[in-house]
Structures are given as structure tokens and as C-alpha cells.
């Protein structure tokens, strides 16, 4: 009986003639999930990101020690062991606890940069693509100026002007991250700007603002989500680079890049001080890359059912 119910629900989701908008949306979501789940590497990436979220949410429970207070007298530079799984740093702080709490700062940076940069790029790209003419030329030349500089170098310049700190680092990374999103949104807008349904909306008297906001931007969201997910690894590495140079999170915050910077002095003898946060950056960056590849394949309208 349960197998028949599951089969009937699957047929309802995959119906060629949905009876409601809800059924159509659920059907699209189901097809997208089938494409995504068929990619084993994408599922591994999803599990890594879910683990990151769980660790960040339960840091107070998972971390056995304080991330900022250490035992300088008795626990300085201890190797990994039963008491300290990842060892301790030069101030006697437990590295495992600092990595667990550092996951919060990683998510803080990634989420804020995505929330700031993606809407800016989406707005600039759709307006430039729909308006055309001088508006398009001016907005795209500004975008080209930002794209002409390496992201890390440009972020360094902004942080140097704004001052060191995690908030200024987030702002600097966001300022340097929006141009690729604008390019993608513009390309998507150019493909649909002269389509029949956009012409129909124009004939109904809709304003350019409403057309861009209600009818063009939603079409660009899927491509933007894929690009943002793929850029998460770059954002993490840029934030870690700023922290490594002392321009990102300031001590004693347990930011992974700053932890690597403090451990580089002991890399030959006490390798675990820098290796543990480096491995955390590697795993999380790999997770976002695998997740982004899976979303790209799942959200590609040219992909068929697998």
C-alpha cells in the first residue's frame, strides 16, 4: 500500500498538466532534487555544508574549552591528544574549540557577503540589460573597472582605507564580489528582454521597474544562486587571506585565517597549529564547490531527467 501511495505522489508531482501553481512548483522542486541527488559528489558537498551549519549552531555544546582563554603555563603548544584533539596554540588555547567557534565567523562572512553582493549584482545587471544604451554602457564600464583588479588586491585596498576588522573585511569583499553577478544577470536579461511574454507585459502597461522586478529578476535567480554558491569558496579564501595579513578578524577572535597566521611561526615543529585551521578551510571550500557544481547541473534547464 505504501509503495502505491509513493508512486501516486510521484506521478502527481511529475504530471504534465498541473492543476495548480503549488503542484507545478512542487513538481519543479522534485525534478530539481532528482537531478541534484543523482550527483554523489554534490550530496557530499551538501553534507559538508550541513555539518558546518550544525557545528556553528552547537558550538557551545561541541567545544570543550573556551576559544579565547588558554592555559599558557601548562598547555602551551601541546600536540594532538586525548585532552586536546587538535593540540593547543602558543597561548595554550584549544585549537579544536577555536575551529568550532571559528565556523560561526566563516558563516558570518559568507552569508553577509552573499546578502550584500548578490542583490547589488542582480540589480545592476538587470537594469543594464533591460535599459540598454548609455545606461548599459556606463554600468558595464564600472563593472569592468572592478573586474580589472584581482579580488584580493582590491579587497586589500578597501580594507586598508576602511581599517582592519571583520565588519570592514566583509564590506570590502562584498564590494569586490558583485561584478560577476552583474555580468550573469545582464546576460540572462538580454536573452529574455525581447521575448513575447515581456512584450505582452509591456502592452498591458507595466512600468519598466515592475517588469525588471517582477518578471526579469526571478528568471536570473537560479543562475545567480549557482554562481554565489561556487563563489563561497573564494569568499572564504579571501576572508582567510585578509585575516592572515592581519586586516580581517582581529585577535582574539578564532577566525581560521588569523589562526593560520599565528601558527606560521611554528609550522616546522608544531605543525598542527596551522594545519588544523588550514584543513578546515580546505574541507569547507571543497564542500561549497561540490555543492555549487551539483546546483549548476540541477538548475540547468537543458539537463534532462536522470
Containing structural domain, residue 120? 27-299
Residue 268 placed within a domain = yes
What is the per-residue pLDDT for 262? Answer: 87
Instruction: Give the pLDDT confidence score for residue 301 in this predicted structure.
Output: 54
- pTM (global) more than 0.75: yes
- pLDDT tops 80 at residue 208: yes
* pLDDT tens per residue across span 78-89: 899 998 999 999
pLDDT at 124: 95
Contact, 258 vs 251, CB < 8 A?
A: yes
Supply the pLDDT for residue 75.
Answer: 86
Domain count, the chain: 1
Q: Is residue 306 part of a domain?
A: no
pLDDT in tens, 156-183: 888 888 888 889 999 999 999 999 999 9
Is residue 4 a part of any domain in this protein?
no
Residue 92 covered by a domain: yes
- The CATH number assigned to the domain holding 293 equals 1.10.3720.10
Mean pLDDT score, 255-282: 90
Which residue's C-alpha cell is 550530496?
Answer: 43
Indicate whether 284 belongs to any domain.
yes
Does 66 reside within a domain? yes
* 239 within domain boundaries: yes
Question: Per the domain annotation, does 17 fall within a domain?
Answer: no
Residue 240 has pLDDT above 60, yes or no: yes
Query: What average pLDDT does the chain have?
Result: 88
Query: How would you label 236-274 residue by residue, b for 16+ Cβ within 10 Å and e otherwise?
Result: bbbbbbbbbeebbbeeebbbbbbbbbbbeeeeeebebbb
Amino acid at each position: 500500500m505504501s509503495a502505491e501511495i509513493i508512486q501516486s505522489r510521484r506521478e502527481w508531482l511529475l504530471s504534465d498538466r498541473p492543476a495548480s501553481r503549488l503542484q507545478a512548483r512542487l513538481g519543479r522542486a522534485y525534478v530539481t532534487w532528482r537531478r541534484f541527488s543523482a550527483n554523489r559528489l554534490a550530496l557530499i558537498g551538501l553534507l559538508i555544508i550541513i555539518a558546518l551549519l550544525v557545528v556553528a549552531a552547537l558550538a557551545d555544546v561541541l567545544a570543550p574549552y573556551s576559544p579565547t582563554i588558554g592555559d599558557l603555563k601548562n598547555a602551551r603548544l601541546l600536540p594532538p591528544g586525548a585532552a586536546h584533539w587538535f593540540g593547543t596554540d602558543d597561548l595554550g588555547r584549544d585549537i579544536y574549540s577555536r575551529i568550532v567557534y571559528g565556523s560561526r565567523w566563516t558563516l558570518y562572512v559568507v552569508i553577509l557577503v552573499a546578502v550584500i553582493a548578490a542583490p547589488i549584482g542582480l540589480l545592476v545587471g538587470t537594469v543594464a540589460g533591460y535599459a540598454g544604451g548609455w545606461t548599459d554602457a556606463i554600468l558595464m564600464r564600472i563593472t569592468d573597472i572592478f573586474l580589472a583588479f584581482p579580488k584580493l588586491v582590491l579587497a586589500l585596498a578597501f580594507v586598508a582605507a576602511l581599517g582592519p576588522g571583520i565588519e570592514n573585511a566583509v564590506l570590502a569583499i562584498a564590494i569586490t564580489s558583485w561584478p560577476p553577478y552583474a555580468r550573469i544577470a545582464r546576460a540572462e536579461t538580454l536573452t529574455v528582454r525581447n521575448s513575447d511574454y515581456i512584450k505582452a507585459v509591456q502592452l498591458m502597461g507595466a512600468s519598466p521597474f515592475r517588469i525588471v522586478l517582477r518578471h526579469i529578476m526571478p528568471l536570473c535567480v537560479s543562475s545567480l544562486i549557482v554562481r554565489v554558491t561556487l563563489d563561497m569558496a573564494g569568499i572564504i579564501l579571501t576572508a582567510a587571506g585578509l585575516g592572515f595579513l592581519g586586516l580581517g578578524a582581529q585577535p582574539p577572535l578564532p577566525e581560521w585565517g588569523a589562526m593560520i597566521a599565528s601558527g606560521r611561526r611554528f609550522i616546522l615543529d608544531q605543525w598542527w597549529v596551522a594545519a588544523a585551521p588550514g584543513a578546515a578551510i580546505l574541507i569547507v571550500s571543497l564542500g561549497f564547490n561540490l555543492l555549487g557544481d551539483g546546483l549548476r547541473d540541477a538548475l540547468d534547464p537543458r539537463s534532462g531527467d536522470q
